[in-house]
Amino acid sequence: MIKTFVLAMILLVTFSLPGAAITEIRPTFTVDYTIEPEYFMPGDMGTITVTLANMATGEKYVSEDEETLDMNAYVASASLAGNSNLEILDKSYTDVGLLGPGDTLKLTFTVKAMENAATGVHFTDLTIVGGSDMNDFNYRIPVKVDDRNVKVIVSNLPTTMMNEVSTVSVDIVNRRPNDVTSVIVTPYAEDMTFSPSDYFIGSVPEGNKSAATFTLNTMSCEEGNSDISFTATYFNGDNLHNAETETKNVRIIKQSPLIFTGIEIENMGGKYTISGDLNNFGITDAKNVMVSIDDMEGVEPVQPYANYFIGTLEADDFSSFDLSAMVTSKNVTAIPVLIEFRDPDNAYTTITQEIDLGSGNTYFSDDEGGSSWGTWVIAGIIAIGVLALIGYSWKKRRDEERTEEMENDELVPEEEEFME
């Protein structure tokens, strides 16, 4: 804010006698002022910079009517007085000195708005004491105080979340009548990680908003309710301020966004081949997805599918996979599978899930102990079917033979009668 006062532009012409004149010439003297910040918040410190200027042009001395006139402006002192809302920390300058034609001088006063300063316009009193032929001047400089704060608004945080990687947007709304600068947004929640940990927005113009977007990782969260908070810091002039913290409560469900479906397991002598689909049940894409047999005693990954690279798995999509493992212990009832991927910010993330060897469709063949129980069951079913078929064929044949014999017995008497 720049304001200008013309303090002295004096050209006095007095007539003592008709036809005679005494001319007194003095320099034009102006005062500009700037206020930073334009609007104070209660408790803020700022500055009022007063610029004194001698607007006279030409030489320092001017000859008029055979008289030599001084064009210098002499300032003896300058002071600023506050009030109950404003405290002036640098109150006065003494013996300021001469300002020649075209010269300027800046005087800076430090001002503090009181902690209980009311919103509105408060005036300070500027007093300039001149020396020599320069007059004294008093002016009121207005200082504006406004207590409106920056507002933090969370845009798209769901009330219920899984153990997943998602994104959340935060709007920073500047409700003040002046720009704020160096805005930084910081999230916080227990057992959750945010990327980035702080988001730098910069300047937000008056009456406008800017957005900060975070990647939120809740993979390690336990089931239950949790608070997520967002705060913003900013500068009003050279004064650091905190926006009111915005806190949201969310419910965490113990559920992974990447889940297996359609699992089929084939057991060939202790070598297990696992086939199925990996589904992305989350709301963000998973990049560079790879599944592999995780480390576990009694389980060894084997070729050809010790690991399986899927690539990008978009939200609400799925992809098939195959894995192979040798189980060397009868105590193993499930095989751990490691799922590795990168979130939208390229952060490395892992999930471990177990596939129960008794789940899905299981196919058996010979193992190291001979024929398995499943094999015997299948063989028994086949044997029963074969025996049933043989029995049915034998019974059908026997019935046909009996029918033929009965027909032959009925024909014998007729033949004897005919021969007689």
Clarify whether residues 44 and 68 are in a common domain.
Answer: yes
> What's 278's domain CATH number?
2.60.40.1230
pLDDT of amino acid 143? 97
pLDDT of amino acid 317? 94
Clarify whether residues 226 and 331 are in a common domain.
Answer: no
Clarify whether residues 24 and 133 are in a common domain.
Answer: yes
Position with higher pLDDT, 257 vs 408: 257
User: Which string of DSSP letters, residue by residue, matches 1-42?
Assistant: -EEEEEEE--EEEEEEETTEEEEEE---EEEEEEEESSEEPT
Clarify whether residues 94 and 27 are in a common domain.
Answer: yes
- Cβ neighbors of 153 (< 8 A, separation 6 or more) are 170, 171, 172, 173, 209, 246
- For residues 141 and 33, the answer to whether their CB atoms sit within 8 Å is yes
Calculate mean pLDDT across residues 393-408. Answer: 67
Cβ-based neighbour number of residue 85 at 10 Å: 20
Number of H helices, E strands in the chain: 1, 33
pLDDT at 106 over 60: yes
Enclosing domain of residue 248: 150-253
CA distance 273 to 326: 9
Highest mean pLDDT among 123-127, 380-384, 390-394: 123-127
pLDDT of amino acid 283? 85
pLDDT at 112 over 80: yes
Q: Of the residues 253, 276, 293, which one is the last residue of a structural domain?
A: 253
Calculate mean pLDDT across residues 345-355. Answer: 88
Clarify whether residues 190 and 138 are in a common domain.
Answer: no
pLDDT of amino acid 407? 60
List, for residues 151-207, the tens digit of each pLDDT value. 999 988 999 999 988 899 999 999 999 999 999 999 999 989 999 999 999 999 999
- For residues 133 and 227, the answer to whether their CB atoms sit within 8 Å is no
pLDDT of amino acid 374? 52
pLDDT of amino acid 270? 84
Calculate mean pLDDT across residues 382-399. Answer: 71
CA distance 203 to 392: 91
| Residue found under tokens 């024909």 | 411
Calculate mean pLDDT across residues 261-269. Answer: 89
Clarify whether residues 16 and 140 are in a common domain.
Answer: yes
pLDDT of amino acid 375? 53
Strand partners of residue 19: none
Clarify whether residues 58 and 168 are in a common domain.
Answer: no
Calculate mean pLDDT across residues 383-401. Answer: 71
What is the helix (H) or strand (E) element at residue 229, kind and residue range?
strand 224-236
The mean pLDDT of the chain is: 82
Clarify whether residues 10 and 136 are in a common domain.
Answer: yes
CA atoms within 13 A on the CB side of 90: 13
Residue type, 291: V
Position with higher pLDDT, 207 vs 418: 207
Calculate mean pLDDT across residues 19-34. Answer: 64
pLDDT of amino acid 10? 38
pLDDT at 279 over 90: yes
- Tell me whether residue 373 is in a domain: no
- Tell me whether residue 156 is in a domain: yes
CA atoms within 13 A on the CB side of 251: 3
In terms of C-beta density within 10 A (0-12 exposed, 13-18 middle, 19 or more buried), how is residue 12 classed? Answer: exposed
pLDDT at 411 over 80: no
pLDDT at 417 over 70: no
pLDDT at 118 over 80: yes
CA distance 244 to 232: 8
Highest mean pLDDT among 22-36, 221-235, 374-388: 221-235
pLDDT at 240 over 80: yes
CA dihedral 164, 165, 167, 168 (to 10 degrees): 50
- Cβ neighbors of 304 (< 8 A, separation 6 or more) are 324
| Chain-centroid distance, C-alpha 78 | 50
pLDDT of amino acid 9? 38
pLDDT at 246 over 90: yes
Clarify whether residues 121 and 169 are in a common domain.
Answer: no
Clarify whether residues 40 and 95 are in a common domain.
Answer: yes
CA distance 5 to 272: 91
pLDDT at 85 over 90: yes
Q: How many domains does the chain have?
A: 4
